């Protein structure tokens, strides 16, 4: 390779590190050159002795390599173009080394494989992560969209989305193997030698198997946590996109929130108005639990499909009346009788069994007497009917329960166990339902650690993400764990893009208040151009709750930025003496910046208040509002200037119509213990001059958030 390309390769521990040159052309040629050897290199790192030996044996059996190919002669104009191409490439690399960006393809500084023939911009998706011990590790960050197919330099197709040690193999157009006038002799020689050199048979045979073994992206819902857990720490990831948020002018940040206070009612209505109902998909009826039907379901058969007995007894002719009758056999469930009941005869029947021809009523066994049996007692020969039967007695006629073509489940039905059983009854095995929304969850904050990490000075373990994921999963919705994101606009933008590309709803916790590191709202506005519908809600807990939407490719993404690292501090006489007010009045309240504090309760409460109803609407539930019941207070409760959602435990006392609501104690937003065993939220009104507290025994509204 000419020196300007400067390819670098090395090994650190069990990790192969490949540093490709900065130019597109140089990185393409270098990657094509090393690609056939990557599987063998990985085997060597893994000490896969069997596979290594196979490749070595195959190499020994190869014939001598062909002589080097000379570049074809070119005319003077072409040669000038080639020389210019080399010169331009060297100049481009010098500019990169000196920090001057190239004017062409400025959106990307690296490329991981053969360039596509079209002039497309590819943002690098591989990164280096520093582990705790200072060991550099390669980490793959999934791109927004993956190519539909891949091709290696030998022409073999590679399975979709194969990742090898953090390197993504891009699709390689066959046109890239053709000679172009602007291609340099160095590029031609590298390209021709790579395409022409015989590949060891063992290496070609094992290439796909090797790639499949090494860090495959399992599905489109693979999370950053899943991928990064293979690489160690999630800190210090080299970012592939950059935020336009200016973080340098700290002194010019807002001293008061630019977002007006929104009333709880208006915020809730806004969320539901902005929430779309997702499209439809067909699922097996066994997977229909919790889903909402998108189309009516009709019975394709009568139920029952034959006249069936309601009781165990005897099929009789009603006109025969009471008296002694001879038995002509029995009718059991699952078998259609072949004999006909004649006058003076009866047939023994079981519940659900078909009624034989000639019979028009059933007399239960309790209304009969046995007159004669066989010698061994295995058969009844004659019985006495004790009552007068009426036609149709204890018989379910054809179509009694369901008639063919009847609507058995209407569009919008929220399916539970009974509905699943009904589908099985009518033989409907596939149903059209609304899609489940996919929810991505992340926590923000430089102070956060994973639950398994040891505490360090200034650090706390992240509880918001685990609690929010569990809350969403409890309602049956699929989730994506986006992990912990630092207080950095670039990291926030990358994580949000990851969530937007894979999920319908993104939930963040933290970074939405007035701290100098709270960049989330700015990233939503400046970088994503999302519409922020409200940035503060007049409620307790959860004042900084933010809701935004982003319309992308005909689909609407919902973004709930919930409180996480801040809690509200009541300050100011005006707020403490606040009366019930309109939205315009609420927006004029002075609210001071809150202190720094872990605030898990606010995230859980606001998730139940806003996120869960939105998810219910997205999946097609006609009334997505939460369940609200009446309950009696078990103790006195002081009121707050804001409407408060007070955590409580609902219990029923013997022979009392209403449950009792027991407070979970200290309601500080940072006290997650107040959520322990809580299955309800007391919906307390704001404090007024007349009502400062509610007393034990008073009836209040309670929103159900857990099992009763």
Task: Tell me which of 236 and 615 has the higher pLDDT.
Answer: 615
Identify the pLDDT of residue 89. 42
Looking at the DSSP bridge assignments, the partners of residue 681 are 647, 703
* Residue 429: band (very low, low, confident or very high) from pLDDT cuts 50, 70, 90: very high
Identify the pLDDT of residue 224. 40
Which two structure tokens, joined as six digits, stand for 109? 């500084």
Question: Is the per-residue pLDDT at 234 higher than 70?
Answer: no
Report pLDDT digits (tens) over 628-644: 999 999 999 999 999 99
According to CATH, the superfamily of the domain at 308-396 is Molybdopterin biosynthesis moea protein, domain 3. (2.170.190.11)
Q: Give the count of beta carbons closer than 10 Å to the beta carbon of residue 162.
A: 19
Q: How far apart are CA 523 and CA 508, in angstroms?
A: 13
Q: Smallest Cα–Cα separation from 237: which of 320, 144, 141?
A: 141
Report pLDDT digits (tens) over 360-416: 999 999 999 999 999 898 999 999 999 999 999 999 999 999 999 999 999 999 999
Provide the CA 219 distance to its chain's centre, in angstroms.
Answer: 12
Side-chain-facing half-sphere of 368: CA atoms under 13 Å: 26
* Residue 681: band (very low, low, confident or very high) from pLDDT cuts 50, 70, 90: very high
* Fold exhibited by the domain 628-704: Beta-clip (2.40.340)
- Average pLDDT estimate for 218-229: 38
Task: Tell me which of 524 and 155 has the higher pLDDT.
Answer: 524
Distance between first and last Cα of the chain = 71
Task: Tell me which of 85 and 41 has the higher pLDDT.
Answer: 41
Pick the range with the lowest mean pLDDT from 26-40, 341-355, 489-503.
26-40
Where do the domains of the chain lie? 3-228, 253-278+436-618, 280-302+401-434, 308-396, 628-704
Q: Give the count of beta carbons closer than 10 Å to the beta carbon of residue 667.
A: 21
Identify the pLDDT of residue 172. 32
Are residues 558 and 549 in contact, defined by beta-carbon separation less than 8 angstroms? yes
Q: Smallest Cα–Cα separation from 361: which of 321, 302, 402?
A: 321
- Average pLDDT estimate for 665-680: 61
Q: Mean pLDDT for the chain?
A: 75
Q: pTM for this structure?
A: 0.62
Residue in the structure block whose two tokens are 């198997």: 209
Report pLDDT digits (tens) over 491-526: 999 999 999 999 999 999 998 888 788 899 999 999
Report pLDDT digits (tens) over 5-24: 455 667 777 788 888 877 77
Report pLDDT digits (tens) over 570-597: 333 333 333 344 555 444 444 433 334 4
Provide the CA 27 distance to its chain's centre, in angstroms.
Answer: 35
- Average pLDDT estimate for 230-256: 65
Q: Which CATH number fits domain 253-278+436-618: 3.40.50.720, 1.10.540.10, 3.40.980.10, 3.40.50.150?
A: 3.40.980.10
Q: Which range, 224-233, 247-256, 346-355, has the best average confidence (pLDDT)? A: 346-355
> Is CATH 3.40.50.300 the right assignment for the domain spanning 280-302+401-434?
no
Question: Is the per-residue pLDDT at 547 higher than 80?
Answer: yes
Question: Is the per-residue pLDDT at 211 higher than 60?
Answer: no
């Amino acid at each position: 390779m000419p020196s300007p390309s400067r390819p670098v390769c090395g090994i650190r521990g069990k990790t192969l590190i490949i540093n490709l040159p900065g130019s597109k052309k140089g990185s393409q040629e270098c990657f094509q050159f090393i690609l056939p050897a990557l599987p063998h290199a990985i085997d060597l790192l893994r000490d896969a002795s069997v596979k290594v030996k196979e490749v070595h044996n195959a190499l020994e059996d190869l014939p001598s390599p062909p002589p080097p190919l000379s570049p074809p002669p070119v005319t003077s104009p072409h040669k000038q173009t080639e020389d210019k191409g080399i010169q331009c490439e060297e100049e481009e690399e010098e500019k990169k080394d000196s920090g001057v960006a190239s004017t062409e393809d400025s959106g990307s500084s690296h490329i991981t494989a053969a360039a596509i023939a079209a002039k497309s911009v590819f943002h690098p998706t591989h990164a280096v992560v520093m582990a705790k011990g200072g060991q550099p590790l390669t980490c793959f960050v999934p791109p927004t969209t993956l190519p539909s197919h891949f091709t290696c330099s030998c022409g073999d197709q590679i399975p979709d989305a194969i990742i090898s040690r953090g390197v993504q193999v891009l699709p390689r157009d066959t046109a890239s193997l053709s000679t172009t006038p602007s291609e340099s002799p160095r590029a031609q020689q590298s390209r021709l030698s790579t395409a022409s050199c015989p590949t060891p048979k063992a290496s070609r045979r094992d290439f796909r198997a090797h790639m499949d073994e090494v860090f495959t992206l399992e599905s489109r819902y693979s999370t950053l946590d899943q991928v990064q857990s293979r690489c160690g720490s999630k800190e210090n990831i080299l970012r592939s996109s950059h935020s336009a948020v200016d973080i340098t002018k700290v002194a010019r940040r807002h001293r008061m929130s630019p977002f007006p206070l929104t009333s709880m009612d208006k915020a809730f209505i806004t969320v539901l108005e902005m929430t779309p109902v997702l499209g439809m998909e067909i699922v097996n009826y066994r997977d229909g639990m919790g889903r909402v039907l998108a189309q009516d379901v009709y019975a394709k058969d009568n139920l029952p499909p034959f006249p069936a007995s309601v009781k165990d007894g005897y099929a009789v002719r009603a006109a025969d009346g009471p008296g002694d009758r001879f038995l002509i056999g029995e009718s059991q469930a699952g078998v259609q009788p072949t004999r006909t009941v004649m006058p003076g005869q009866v047939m023994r029947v079981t519940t659900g069994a078909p009624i034989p021809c000639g019979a028009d009523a059933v007399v239960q066994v309790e209304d009969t007497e046995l007159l004669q049996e066989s010698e061994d007692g295995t058969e009844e020969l004659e019985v006495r009917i004790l009552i007068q039967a009426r036609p149709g007695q204890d018989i379910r006629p054809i179509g009694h329960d369901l008639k063919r073509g009847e609507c058995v489940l209407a569009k919008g039905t929220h399916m539970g166990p009974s509905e699943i059983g009904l589908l099985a009854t009518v033989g409907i095995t596939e149903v059209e339902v609304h899609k489940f929304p996919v929810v991505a969850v992340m926590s923000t904050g430089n102070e956060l650690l994973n639950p398994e990490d040891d505490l360090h000075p200034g650090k706390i373990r992240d509880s918001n993400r685990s609690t929010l994921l569990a809350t969403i999963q409890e309602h049956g919705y699929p989730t994506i764990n986006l992990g912990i994101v630092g207080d950095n606009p670039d990291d926030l933008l990358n994580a949000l893009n990851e969530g937007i590309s894979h999920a319908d709803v993104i939930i963040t916790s933290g970074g939405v208040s007035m701290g100098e590191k709270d960049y989330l709202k700015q990233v939503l506005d400046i970088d994503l151009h999302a519409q922020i519908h409200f940035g503060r809600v007049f409620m307790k807990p959860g004042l900084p709750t933010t809701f935004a939407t982003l319309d992308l490719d005909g689909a609407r993404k919902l973004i709930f930025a919930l409180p996480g690292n801040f809690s509200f501090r009541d300050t100011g006489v005006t707020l403490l003496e606040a009366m019930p007010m309109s939205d315009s009045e609420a927006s004029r309240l002075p609210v001071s910046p809150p202190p720094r504090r872990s605030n898990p309760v606010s995230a859980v409460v606001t998730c139940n208040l806003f996120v869960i109803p939105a998810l219910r609407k997205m999946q097609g539930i006609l009334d997505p509002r939460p369940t609200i019941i009446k309950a009696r207070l078990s103790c006195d409760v002081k009121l707050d200037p804001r409407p408060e959602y007070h955590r409580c435990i609902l219990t029923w006392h013997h022979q009392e119509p209403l449950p009792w609501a027991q407070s979970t104690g200290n309601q500080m937003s940072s006290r997650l213990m107040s959520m322990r065993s809580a299955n309800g939220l007391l919906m307390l009104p704001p404090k007024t001059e007349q009502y400062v507290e509610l007393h034990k025994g008073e009836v209040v509204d309670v929103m159900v958030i857990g099992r009763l």
